[in-house]
A and B are shown apart, each in its own frame.
Chain A
């Protein structure tokens, strides 16, 4: 256990150290070019001192990002458009809606596929093909087109999230619903259970561990979908809009803080799902300690 924590901690230290080094090199290079263009004198110590305080750095130093995060999270009112919490909540909404829709759709398709051989033969190839199509590429178009019909805001973004998150759920559920122990299946057959009873008394439970594994993948995918869906909506808000406006105006610290927020949001969401998994599966005595 100690060995593990040591490895993780040392990796984090190495990454932060490398980050400061690269920030110095990249920003310093920019500064030096600037000085030389204006024929000003510079010393190494003055460049080092300034490299971590540039307003629009090539690579903001970690403390600058944390500063920006702190300012936009704690020192700004939540209702303000400058608050990162405001944008995070917008993204969170469409992520969750899309995730719920995607999970429902995924389970529905999986149930259909498991119970009907024709559905499996006709649908399964397209379910797989649907993921080789880079749907994220058409995400902006879905947003624009649905906006033209009058559907703006939450729904178009959630549709993209739904599309991305239904696939892992379908695949996992098909596997899970089929993973029921054959002895149990035969036992239920001897009780002359019908398909309905078979599903609710056996299959649904055998599928749960698989379902949670797919939900973890699905919620991360839903977040990606929500963020990319926000790219073309411009100023309307959300972490994706934050990324886009940051890149338009060269506000690198804004990009990095939005990115950190997205990473934080993603890991919290996945953590929540695995927490639910632990609670539910432990109650059934299935949790892997």
Chain B
């Protein structure tokens, strides 16, 4: 009963504020600062609604899954609404911060340009570099797990590489491999190799001693031991590296494009449109990058859930 009341109050103030920000001509906060009082009202009611939704989500009722998802969405809605109304209410210059609505419309009006950029940066550079870097990291870790010498030499190097800013090699790679996507892929290979190597090595070494003995008593061949015991045990670590690398790869490609690129690509788009003060286009490109990053991360997380359904980390998540 009480929760319905709060929800209604929230919806009411939410609608009124969005109506104001959409209908009234820009600059309304300057003229009538009283309207600013709507914000505390909205925040208080939103906080109430979110805590109610959270409590409902924790109870494990049939609809709990949806209420758990809706909590962060409400939070994002509040942020977006504040952004939109503040920008138009105070007439913030377009160059500084375009309102979200302009960004979304820029996104839909320039889909062909954005798609070409996406293809150049993501489908060519990121995918190629990611696949090569992760595969080579995995293969070297597989070799190193048997050799103490390789481990002793490569592990300190991996630790060292994690402390240094590897994106700095971007100008060198651009010089060696040219302006096209190959140089970006090369940067990504170097960036993704060591996280994959270190994680796979840790994973392959984490095999339970009892399990090793068990496989020995079954007279399992090396291949069998690897595919049925070592690899499954290492998978959580490998997925961890894959997830870290998916973000690193996108960053590497975009930063490398600042150092030289053909006239297409997400990094190129950002740096040129900043120069031309087309901020909505810049933010639309960032939106593409954010979507690409989040979707690839989410896809990897789903894949992890599907392949590691038997592992304690995933089972624990489901129970919660």
- How far is it, in angstroms, between the C-alpha of A269 and the C-alpha of B162 when the chains are bound? 12
Asked whether any CB of chain A lies closer than 8 Å to the CB of B154, the reply is yes
Assess the B255–A136 pair: CB atoms within 8 A: yes
Assess the B167–A227 pair: CB atoms within 8 A: yes
Asked whether any CB of chain B lies closer than 8 Å to the CB of A92, the reply is no
Asked whether any CB of chain A lies closer than 8 Å to the CB of B76, the reply is yes
Binary contact track A214-227/B, C-beta < 8 Å → 1, others 0? 00110010011001
Binds B, one of A78-86, A126-134, A169-177: A126-134
- How far is it, in angstroms, between the C-alpha of A121 and the C-alpha of B66 when the chains are bound? 12
Asked whether any CB of chain A lies closer than 8 Å to the CB of B203, the reply is no
Q: Given A247-B259, A266-B164, A137 and B157 touching (CB < 8 A)?
A: no
| Chain B hits for A138, CB < 8 A | 270, 282, 286
Q: Give, as a whole number of angstroms, the nearest-CB distance from B10 to chain A.
A: 14
Binary contact track A255-271/B, C-beta < 8 Å → 1, others 0? 11011001100110110
- How far is it, in angstroms, between the C-alpha of A129 and the C-alpha of B96 when the chains are bound? 24
Q: Give, as a whole number of angstroms, the nearest-CB distance from B166 to chain A.
A: 8
| Chain A hits for B151, CB < 8 A | 7
Asked whether any CB of chain B lies closer than 8 Å to the CB of A149, the reply is yes
Asked whether any CB of chain B lies closer than 8 Å to the CB of A281, the reply is no
Q: With a 10 A CB-CB cut-off, give which of A140, A220, A227 has the most chain B CB atoms.
A: A140
Assess the A133–B163 pair: CB atoms within 8 A: no
Assess the B72–A220 pair: CB atoms within 8 A: no
Binary contact track A1-12/B, C-beta < 8 Å → 1, others 0? 001101110110
Assess the A231–B163 pair: CB atoms within 8 A: no
Binary contact track A140-151/B, C-beta < 8 Å → 1, others 0? 110011001100
Assess the A134–B293 pair: CB atoms within 8 A: yes
Asked whether any CB of chain B lies closer than 8 Å to the CB of A244, the reply is yes
Q: List the A residue with the shortest CB-CB distance to B244.
A: A131
| Chain A hits for B175, CB < 8 A | 58, 247, 250, 252
Assess the A137–B152 pair: CB atoms within 8 A: no
- How far is it, in angstroms, between the C-alpha of A246 and the C-alpha of B170 when the chains are bound? 12
| Chain A hits for B157, CB < 8 A | 11
Binary contact track B156-187/A, C-beta < 8 Å → 1, others 0? 11001011110111111011100000000000
- The 8 Å CB contact of A121, one of B71, B156, B259, B296, is B71
Q: Given A3-B148, A8-B153, A220-B163, A247 and B174 touching (CB < 8 A)?
A: yes
Assess the B153–A122 pair: CB atoms within 8 A: no
Asked whether any CB of chain B lies closer than 8 Å to the CB of A123, the reply is yes
Assess the B254–A266 pair: CB atoms within 8 A: no
The majority secondary structure among interface residues of chain A is helix
- How far is it, in angstroms, between the C-alpha of A33 and the C-alpha of B247 when the chains are bound? 40
Asked whether any CB of chain A lies closer than 8 Å to the CB of B68, the reply is yes
Q: List the A residue with the shortest CB-CB distance to B68.
A: A121
Asked whether any CB of chain B lies closer than 8 Å to the CB of A285, the reply is no
Q: Give, as a whole number of angstroms, the nearest-CB distance from A173 to chain B.
A: 19
Q: List the A residue with the shortest CB-CB distance to B286.
A: A138
Asked whether any CB of chain A lies closer than 8 Å to the CB of B30, the reply is no
Q: List the A residue with the shortest CB-CB distance to B295.
A: A132
Assess the A136–B167 pair: CB atoms within 8 A: yes
Assess the A141–B251 pair: CB atoms within 8 A: no
Assess the A126–B75 pair: CB atoms within 8 A: yes
Q: Given A133-B293, A252-B175, A262-B168, A10 and B71 touching (CB < 8 A)?
A: no
Assess the B152–A223 pair: CB atoms within 8 A: no
Q: Give, as a whole number of angstroms, the nearest-CB distance from B260 to chain A.
A: 7
Assess the A137–B255 pair: CB atoms within 8 A: yes
Asked whether any CB of chain A lies closer than 8 Å to the CB of B149, the reply is yes
Assess the A7–B149 pair: CB atoms within 8 A: yes
Binds A, one of B34-42, B46-54, B102-110, B207-215: B46-54
Asked whether any CB of chain B lies closer than 8 Å to the CB of A283, the reply is no
- The 8 Å CB contact of B271, one of A10, A129, A140, A243, is A140
Q: Given A118-B47, A267-B164, A137 and B171 touching (CB < 8 A)?
A: no
Q: Give, as a whole number of angstroms, the nearest-CB distance from A160 to chain B.
A: 12
Assess the A118–B71 pair: CB atoms within 8 A: yes
- The 8 Å CB contact of A246, one of B55, B163, B171, B266, is B171
Q: Which of A150-169 contact B (CB under 8 A)?
A: none
- How far is it, in angstroms, between the C-alpha of A8 and the C-alpha of B150 when the chains are bound? 9
Assess the A137–B286 pair: CB atoms within 8 A: yes
| Chain A hits for B96, CB < 8 A | 145, 148-149
Asked whether any CB of chain A lies closer than 8 Å to the CB of B241, the reply is no
Q: Given A137-B255, A137-B267, A247-B171, A262 and B152 touching (CB < 8 A)?
A: no
Q: List the B residue with the shortest CB-CB distance to A223.
A: B165
Q: List the B residue with the shortest CB-CB distance to A9.
A: B153
Q: List the B residue with the shortest CB-CB distance to A144.
A: B274
| Chain A hits for B160, CB < 8 A | 263, 267
Asked whether any CB of chain B lies closer than 8 Å to the CB of A211, the reply is no
Assess the A270–B72 pair: CB atoms within 8 A: no
Asked whether any CB of chain A lies closer than 8 Å to the CB of B15, the reply is no
Q: List the B residue with the shortest CB-CB distance to A247.
A: B171
Q: Give, as a whole number of angstroms, the nearest-CB distance from A70 to chain B.
A: 20
Assess the A117–B54 pair: CB atoms within 8 A: yes
Assess the B255–A259 pair: CB atoms within 8 A: no
Assess the A134–B251 pair: CB atoms within 8 A: yes
Closest 10 pairs (CB-CB, A-B): A7-B152, A247-B171, A11-B153, A263-B164, A132-B293, A137-B254, A118-B51, A122-B75, A7-B153, A133-B290
